[in-house]
Amino acid sequence: MADITMPKMGFDMTEGLIVRWLKKVGDHVNKGEAIAEIETDKVTIEIETFVAGTISEIVAEAGSRTPVGGVIARTGEAGAAVASKPAAAPAAVAVAAPAPVAAAAAPRAAVATTSSTGLKASPIAKRMASEHGLNLGDIQGTGPSGRIVRDDVAAAIAGNPTPVARPAAAAAAPAAPVVAPPPAAAAGATVVPLTSMRRTITRRLTQSWQSAPHFYVSMDIDMGATLELRKQINAPLAKDQQVSINDIIVKACGVALAQFPYLNASYVEEGIQLNPNVNVSIAVAIDSGLVAPVITNTDSRSLGGVAREAKRLIALARDGKLGAENLSGGTFTVSNLGMYGVSTFDAIITPPQCAILAVGAVRRTPVFKGDSNEVVAANICSITLSADHRITDGAEAARFVAEIKRLIENPLSMLI
């Protein structure tokens, strides 16, 4: 008999949520075959078994959370007796010495009341129904082919708020006198449970805001030369191969970071860690939250190489197919809200990085031409660097932003 455990899909992953099982007890599986779909703080991904055999026991039911390394299932040789359903719970307790596994027992009980066999429902809809003790069979799906989606479950929760178990956790908050308990949900309000991704965004960015003393440096960039170069580059290319403004900005950041190692650093207990590679993360909004896939070795890639890799990663993100290798190792982040018409904004640093660049929209603006009094129209983009004052200072950050400005206003220098 072999244990199948929750894999570690990223350096900061501590637990995973079993979204659904692709195999059941008694099924034969081959080495490398997908057996379950799990949700981490960053992605939803299928996991594979590294051994062939027959699923003899499912320890972690769909909807439950299991710490990294915790047993989620067991396999035995073909023809071996399989564990009966009642035996599953004691087996889980025997393995689950760490406290986090014991906490997963509550969602497991909720899953037992949710009959989802044969029903079409999105992973988040299944999880929400499980956490609120709702039977998917009682919910009318409005998605394609009657698929039950998140909004369907949210509507059901609004009409049946009693099963929600969240207030019980809130009741324990007064035990920590330094933290005010969260306000109770208003009568008739819909409480949408946090996804693993939203929970991690909350935890990590709160940690960043509280531990890293942020400061900001803003600068306006004349985008005229970059827009003209982009026009020339894209003229012969198919639309799906064209270079975006963000690609050029990301490339400029990569080149500048190679010259400013303290902006490509991390704060660790021993001091300041200067990272050996320049890996720029690009913030991508998806339905379930925000992910930041990493363009590795950004400084040494060609502009076309940056553009192709960005397109590949964005496609994977929107299809929900990003792997841990796509999300780990970032040393700097670019967050662009220009496509939403945002002129300027301040971003929160993504730990363990020490800086993030916020990029606004390119806007047509009247400016003075050189040192003369002549006013001309220019395409201006505002950028704001958020940096960790434990690692760098205002003067260095200003020089770094000025270098990004120089590169973008003279984009041919990045092609040499």
- Asked whether residue 75 falls in the same domain as residue 205, the answer is no
Of the pLDDT bands very low, low, confident and very high (cuts 50, 70, 90), residue 127 is: low
CATH number of the domain residue 49 falls in: 2.40.50.100
Average pLDDT over residues 94-123: 40
- How far apart CA 296 and CA 416 sit, in angstroms, is 20
Averaged pLDDT score across all residues of the chain: 81
375 assigned to some structural domain: yes
More confident residue, 173 or 384: 384
Report the number of distinct structural domains present in the chain: 2
Rounded Cα gap, residues 134 and 121, in angstroms: 13
The model's pLDDT over 241-252, given as tens digits with 9 standing for 90+, comes to: 999 999 999 999
Residue 95 shares a structural domain with residue 225? no
Please say if the pLDDT value at position 134 is more than 80: no
Task: Check pLDDT > 80 for residue 171.
Answer: no
The answer to the question of residue 131 being in a domain is: no
Least confident of 84-93, 117-126, 316-325: 84-93
Cβ distance 98 to 69 under 8 Å? Answer: no
76 & 208 share domain:
no
Q: What is the mean pLDDT of residues 89-98?
A: 36
Residue 183: inside a domain, yes or no?
Answer: no
Residues 218 and 362 in one domain: yes
Residue 107: predicted pLDDT:
33
Q: Tell me if 316 is assigned to some domain.
A: yes
pLDDT confidence bin for 174, thresholds 50/70/90 = very low
From 107, 138, 171, the end of a domain falls on 107
Averaged over 102-111, what is the pLDDT? 31
pLDDT in tens, 363-406: 999 999 888 999 999 999 999 999 999 999 999 999 999 999 99
| pLDDT computed for residue 225 by the predictor | 96
Supply the range of the domain harboring residue 371.
201-414
Highest mean pLDDT among 111-120, 187-196, 229-238, 286-295: 229-238
For the stretch 188-225, pLDDT in tens is 888 888 877 788 788 888 989 999 999 999 999 999 99
- Residue that terminates a domain, selected from 107, 138, 163: 107
Using 50, 70 and 90 to split pLDDT, how confident is the model at 167?
very low
Mean pLDDT of 156-163: 55
pLDDT reading at 276 higher than 90:
yes
Please state the three-class secondary structure of 370-404 as a single string.
Answer: CCCCCEEEEEEEEEEEEEECCCCCHHHHHHHHHHH
Phi, psi of 271 (to 5 degrees): 145, -140
User: Is the same domain home to 100 and 227?
Assistant: no
Q: Contact, 61 vs 310, CB < 8 A?
A: no
Q: What is the dihedral of CA 301, 248, 11, 277, to 10 degrees?
A: 40
**Euclidean distance between CA atoms 352 and 11, whole angstroms:** 11
% residues pLDDT > 90 (the chain): 46
Sheet with 355-368, edge to edge strand ranges: 214-222, 375-388, 355-368, 332-336, 280-282, 294-295
Out of 50-59, 106-115, 143-152, 347-356, give the one with best mean pLDDT. 347-356
Q: Is there a domain that residue 139 lies in?
A: no
Any domain includes 278: yes
Are both 246 and 365 inside the same structural domain?
A: yes
pLDDT at 166: 38
| The predicted structure's pLDDT at residue 143 | 62
**One domain for residues 98 and 216:** no
Is 0.85 topped by the overall pTM? no
Cβ proximity of 28 and 53 under 8 Å: yes
Q: What does the pLDDT average to over 31-60?
A: 82
Residue 26, in any domain of the structure: yes
Output the domain CATH number for residue 302. 3.30.559.10
- 262-273 pLDDT tens trace: 999 999 889 999
| More confident: 86 or 128 | 128
pLDDT of residue 152: 75
Per the document, the length of the chain is 416
Residue scoring higher pLDDT (297 or 88): 297
Residues identified as active-site: 389, 393
Identify the band that residue 179 occupies on the pLDDT scale cut at 50, 70 and 90: low
